[in-house]
Structure 1
Amino acid sequence: MSRTKALENVKLTSFDDLFGGNKIEKTAEAGDVKEIPLSELHEFHNHPFQICSDEELAEMIESVREHGVLVPGIVRKRKEGGYEIIAGHTRKHVCEILGFETMPVFVKEMDDDEASLVMVDSNIQRENIRPSEKAKAYKIKYDAMKNQGKAGNSLKMMSEESGENYKMIQRYIWLARLNDDLLALVDNKQLGIVQGVSLSVLPEKEQEAVYDAISRHKMKLSTVQANTIKQLSVDGKFNEQILERYLTSAQKQKRKKEITLKNERLSEYFEEETTEEEMMNIIFELLETWKRKKGSAQNE
């Protein structure tokens, strides 16, 4: 039996966890499997997901090395020639690593919105997804659903399909308006999602100025600081000089409140097995006692 014929008899659910699950199965349940040269398979036009070198990828490489690609990708024909990958970017990458020349795929007819929905749904449930990837993916899906006339209840539908709270999905969609530099800070946990949402209302030039300033100051913005910068922009008062003065002032205020307690001093008062949390609790209890005594003395 040929490899292609064998693939036609494989149930797509057998490798759901590795290759995309029931969403792909329902989309590709009809049609013939074709072996397409890797050179003719092109990335989706606005594919937001990155291929990571992690344990999951290593498992996929070993599986494909041993069994071949058991779950075909999904592609559509391109006007420019060749095929656009809708689901199967990682599989193609694995095939390239292993030196394969072709990959099994289902060739489907889909418009841009249908293809976008399948592309997002076949990737969004992956375990290790960066906030930037999720933000761009949810934005793509939201726009596609809006084009299909589903904007009214799209957030609710997306929440039900993904299992993620619809308010969180809405935050991610707003987050997608950040430039790539600020999104990278979110991915690296140097900028919080809530703070990123606040900054997402800023025009591109102002976002560039904020990125430059917080990078130079090595700051992680608080919610209050991000909202203050947002309000400056909304009120038309944002410029680089005002931003610089505000961030410099915020850093000075923060430094005034920071006190470093050296371990060698603390060891004079605490046993070695005392945890940091226990130390802090005792220190603040003593400060509260001192505060009450000080207040009583002043009232005498």
Structure 2
Amino acid sequence: MAGRKSDFTLTKLDDLFTTQAQRDEEQLSKIRDIPLELIDDFPDHPFKVRDDEDMMQLVESVKERGVITPATVRQKEDGRYELVSGHRRKRACELAGFETLRSEIVDLNRDEATILMVESNFQRSEILPSEKAFAYKMRLEAMKRQAGRPRKENVSPVGTNLRTDEQIAQETGDSRNQIHRYVRLTNLVSELLEFVDEGRIKMRPAVELSYLDEDCQRDVVDEIDLNDATPSHDQTIRMRKLFNEGNLTTEAIHAVMSEEKPNQKEKIVLRGDRVRQLIPKNIPVSQTEDFVCKALEHYNKFLRNRAERDSR
């Protein structure tokens, strides 16, 4: 039937001429305890390693049972090792007082290692927007470079014609547009990106701000600190429009950011039953608002007159 995907996949060449036992033994030969001092973190690793409660639990687990799942490393030209996956396990071993990390040594180039690093870290239960942003950017760039390279002879030649962003979208559940929104966040200054991680600035306003240059973004940060309020989506759209027109000055940013947003206006709640008891019954409903306003005006005048008398 047209359009139906086949479940058939080609077997790797090595798998045709080796037994499962031989392959398992070969994999075990690549697993060893490597001194922590010889293992370098992955360059520009986008995922934060925090010494939080989860880390302390991992430390206790490592102390009791060791590292159950080996970390993944690749050997560098200088003889040291580059950590591909297992940054939390490495940190746990350091905190537990271990001197080595059980690791599997893999033969990967930089782009292959980048793709594996991102894939393995996306299994975390919690990922910050900033972590996703730089991870998506690194993986997209690596996949685009990989697309132009010849495949290794042991890799199955069955491929896809999917765009890199489409492939990542299928694997992660984020839409293509959402992936590119995350990547835009990498253009934010660190303070704004931190606001996004904290949930103070939502995705859509953050994306609009990412189109401003660094100086304008710094001015926005100053206004956030001054007003203790973050910009709305509408405000960021207007600032981006002004920036594109060459009119986004420090004064313009201040003017936009100083506006009171609807959700920041303090609401006055009046109990209807109490108010109705104070309004004469002969006042029509249509005149209720006018009556209440005039009553408040008279009361305010009374308070001012009393304050003047007391000050004499």
How high is the TM-score relative to the length of structure 2?
0.70
Q: Cα gap change, 1:256/1:60 in structure 2, threshold over 3 Å: closer, same or farther? A: closer
Q: In the aligned structure 2, how far is the partner of 1:164 from the partner of 1:226?
A: 24
Q: Which letter does structure 2 place at the counterpart of 1:239?
A: T
Equivalent in the alignment of 2:220: 210
Structure 1 moving runs of 4+ over 4 Å: 28-31, 253-257, 265-270
Whether the 8 Å contact between 1:31 and 1:107 is mirrored in structure 2 is no
Q: Which letter does structure 1 place at the counterpart of 2:239?
A: I
Whether the 8 Å contact between 2:115 and 2:142 is mirrored in structure 1 is yes
Task: Answer with 1 or 2: which has the greater Rg.
Answer: 2
Q: In the aligned structure 1, how far is the partner of 2:187 from the partner of 2:48?
A: 18
SS of corresponding position for 1:174:
helix
| Deviations 1:156-183, CA, capped at 9 Å, x for gaps | 1001111222322221111222121111
| Deviations 1:210-265, CA, capped at 9 Å, x for gaps | 112222221121110011111111111112122112222x13x659953344xxx7
| Deviations 1:43-88, CA, capped at 9 Å, x for gaps | 1111011113444333322321111111111112234552111101
Q: In the aligned structure 2, how far is the partner of 1:202 from the partner of 1:131?
A: 19
Equivalent in the alignment of 1:69: 67
Equivalent in the alignment of 2:93: 95
- Aligned residues with identical type, % of pairs: 33
Unaligned runs of 5+ in 1: 1-27, 271-291
Q: In the aligned structure 2, how far is the partner of 1:136 from the partner of 1:294?
A: 60
How high is the TM-score relative to the length of structure 1?
0.73
Equivalent in the alignment of 1:241: 251
**RMSD (Å) for aligned C-alpha atoms:** 3.1
Unaligned runs of 5+ in 2: 1-25, 149-160, 276-284, 291-312
Equivalent in the alignment of 2:266: 258
Equivalent in the alignment of 2:109: 111
Q: In the aligned structure 2, how far is the partner of 1:123 from the partner of 1:85?
A: 12
Equivalent in the alignment of 1:176: 186
Q: In the aligned structure 1, how far is the partner of 2:287 from the partner of 2:264?
A: 22
Q: Which letter does structure 1 place at the counterpart of 2:213?
A: P
Whether the 8 Å contact between 2:231 and 2:257 is mirrored in structure 1 is no
Q: In the aligned structure 1, how far is the partner of 2:180 from the partner of 2:42?
A: 24
Q: Which letter does structure 1 place at the counterpart of 2:164?
A: S
Q: In the aligned structure 2, how far is the partner of 1:267 from the partner of 1:59?
A: 54
Of 105, 109, 131, the residue aligned with 2:129 is: 131
SS of corresponding position for 2:95:
helix
- Give yes or no for the alignment of 1:201 onto 2:211: yes
Following TM superposition, by how much is the alpha carbon of 1:268 offset from its aligned partner in structure 2, in angstroms?
A: 7.9
Deviates more, 1:77-86 or 1:33-42: 77-86
Q: In the aligned structure 1, how far is the partner of 2:141 from the partner of 2:233?
A: 28
SS of corresponding position for 2:121:
coil
The total of aligned residue pairs comes to 245
Of 10, 21, 35, the residue aligned with 1:37 is: 35
Whether the 8 Å contact between 2:73 and 2:103 is mirrored in structure 1 is yes
Following TM superposition, by how much is the alpha carbon of 1:31 offset from its aligned partner in structure 2, in angstroms?
A: 5.5
Equivalent in the alignment of 1:155: 165
